[in-house]
Amino acid sequence: MATDSPVTAANRAPADRLVIFDTTLRDGEQAPGCSMTDREKLRVARALADLGVDVIEAGFPAASDGDFASVQSIAREVRGPTICGLARCGEHDIRRAWEALEPAESSRIHVFIATSPIHRKFKLQLTQEEVLRRAVRGVAMARDFCGNVEFSAEDAARTEPEFLAEVLSAVIEAGASTINVPDTVGYAIPGEFADLIRYLREHVRGIEKAVVSVHCHDDLGMAVANSLAAVEAGARQVECTVNGIGERAGNCSLEEIVMAVRTRADRLLVDTGVNSTRLYPTSRLVAAVTGVHVPRNKAVVGDNAFAHEAGIHQHGMLRHESTYEIMRPRDVGMDSSRLVLGKHSGRHAFRDRVTELGLDLDEAELDRAFIAFKQLADRKKEVFDADIEALVLRSDADQSGPWRLAAMNIRSGKGTVPSAEVALVHADGETRRETAEGDGPVAAAFRAIELATGVDARLRNFDIRNVTVGGDAQGEAVVTVEHDGRVYQGKGFDTDIVEASSLAFLQAINRICSTGRVHPQPDTQNVAAAGSA
């Protein structure tokens, strides 16, 4: 049983250092439609390490065997940041968290319990005394395994400040080195949240031994503002996610907090260890992996974040960029991300681009991706970054479950009933062929895939968009399906949108199969929701 982790910036923040605790893979991933496969999580974790975050919250190991495995593989393979796992205050959760984290170079167990009156009464049905007792016991138990323990008082922003101070004092005494103050429901407003942090810094016993952390949700659009207010009041860790993904309206956005702290260092007087030029590539990777796209006008990483349309602005910019620009695109890694490759680009150029995009590939993956790149470059004049991301993710998707699309034949046109014939190959070598009709070619293809796999996947949402511009652009399809009460997502990329849609649908089915919770398909057809697409 290990009891000590190396002391890093993550568990001892100097006065001017703001610890960046990334929870994209835990709080971000648990948001509907943001789920990732193990390979995707590992890819994102490596990108976060390159970005220079201090802590990666890799998941909630006790939540499922899948969560456990992905936290464990990140703990084994990702070096640099501290790897953290979430746990409730019970023994099973804490033990599972430690088992998953054990291979990490530097690890943290993050235990939490809700402290607010609403949660105590309706969710936990526990008294203040019992919540306090469980919090202390959870932290003490976690400390038996790991020298670096964080405690979170869930719904802290709606907890009585006196009780919150009492709980936090007790958990510091029990060994927590980071105490986190979550605004779980995004209810706080900046001045009030800053007052709470100041109050805690005055009233929590032993506060000087711990890093004060904040974790803000964005229900009122104030997650970043509340986090910054807390930093001004003395918080030295911010919990955040790439692109602000997360439950409901999301979490504090990593790129916004990092750039705010950097741009306004004059006032905030803290700095982070983040390499800001990796912000844009990391944002793109998370968007591509989750299928949750970044709005064009999103601060820091939106495509229009540095676009100047108004003539008067353009004029000012030509005179001097500081007239209308408080950050430069290159500060967030935007300018170097616009290179275009073509069919004459060699393996070297391709490898450089892949690395620049944060797509950490081993030699075998690089070989596969390069072949796919050459095939795409034959069909498309220019291959953009988004195309490269798409083809790497497509190759990840091909390995996300037992089924692979071997062939597809679509018949559709005016006056004909659309039909699709698919051939799918299973990992055990069997090939299954099925033909089906539908209101449109996509619906027919989905139905044929359902028949061939025998998996009933009720279509919940279906989105299609261009990955890049131009008539030869690849299409990206994102499909959300429901199976046995659970929601699964799949993505597919191809220059042919029916094929992109079918790959997305098949990926969702592969994800269902990988959970081992497959229910046989009922007789009735249920993919009519694809409409006449």
Name the residues that contact ligand KIV, by CB under 6 A. 27, 112, 152, 154, 180, 182, 184, 215, 217
What single DSSP character describes residue 249? Answer: T
Least gap, CB of 21 to Zn ion (angstroms): 11
CB 161, CB 200: distance < 8 Å? yes
**Cβ atoms within 10 Å, residue 65:** 12
Query: How distant, in Å, are the alpha carbons of 70, 198, 442 from that of 45?
Result: 10, 33, 34
Q: Enumerate residues 404-443 that contact Zn ion by CB under 5 A.
A: none
Least gap, CB of 245 to ligand KIV (angstroms): 13
Rank residues 96 and 215 by Cβ distance to ligand KIV and give the closer one.
215
Rank residues 215 and 298 by Cβ distance to ligand KIV and give the closer one.
215
Least gap, CB of 93 to ligand KIV (angstroms): 12
Rank residues 154 and 476 by Cβ distance to Zn ion and give the closer one.
154
Using CB atoms, what's the residue nearest to Zn ion?
27
And the tokens for 238?
A: 């911010």
Backbone dihedral angles phi then psi of residue 342, each to the nearest 5 degrees: -140, -170
Rank residues 32 and 470 by Cβ distance to Zn ion and give the closer one.
32
Contacts of 239 by beta carbon, 8 Å cutoff, 6+ apart? 21, 22, 23, 27, 57, 180, 182, 213, 214, 215, 216, 251, 252
Least gap, CB of 356 to Zn ion (angstroms): 32
CA distance 291 to 36: 10
Rank residues 27 and 29 by Cβ distance to Zn ion and give the closer one.
27
Contacts of 355 by beta carbon, 8 Å cutoff, 6+ apart? none
Residue span 12-51 as binding mask against Zn ion, x where in contact by CB under 5 A, dash where not = ---------------x------------------------
CB 5, CB 82: distance < 8 Å? yes
Least gap, CB of 193 to Zn ion (angstroms): 15
CA distance 60 to 88: 9
Q: Does 256 bind Zn ion (CB under 5 A)?
A: no
Rank residues 82 and 184 by Cβ distance to ligand KIV and give the closer one.
184
Residue span 61-90 as binding mask against Zn ion, x where in contact by CB under 5 A, dash where not = ------------------------------
Tell me which long-range contacts 344-352 makes (C-beta under 8 A, separation of at least 24). 345/377, 345/383, 350/388
Q: Which partner in ligand KIV, Zn ion, none is near 152 (CB below 5 to 8 A by kind)? A: ligand KIV
**Burial class, 109, CB count within 10 angstroms (exposed 0-12 / middle 13-18 / buried 19+):** buried
Contacts of 203 by beta carbon, 8 Å cutoff, 6+ apart? 161, 162, 165, 169
Least gap, CB of 246 to Zn ion (angstroms): 6
Least gap, CB of 151 to ligand KIV (angstroms): 10
Least gap, CB of 171 to Zn ion (angstroms): 18
Q: Which partner in ligand KIV, Zn ion, none is near 453 (CB below 5 to 8 A by kind)? A: none
CA distance 507 to 502: 8
Rank residues 112 and 370 by Cβ distance to ligand KIV and give the closer one.
112
CA distance 441 to 443: 6
Rank residues 75 and 223 by Cβ distance to ligand KIV and give the closer one.
223
Residues in the site for Zn ion, rule: CB under 5 A?
A: 27
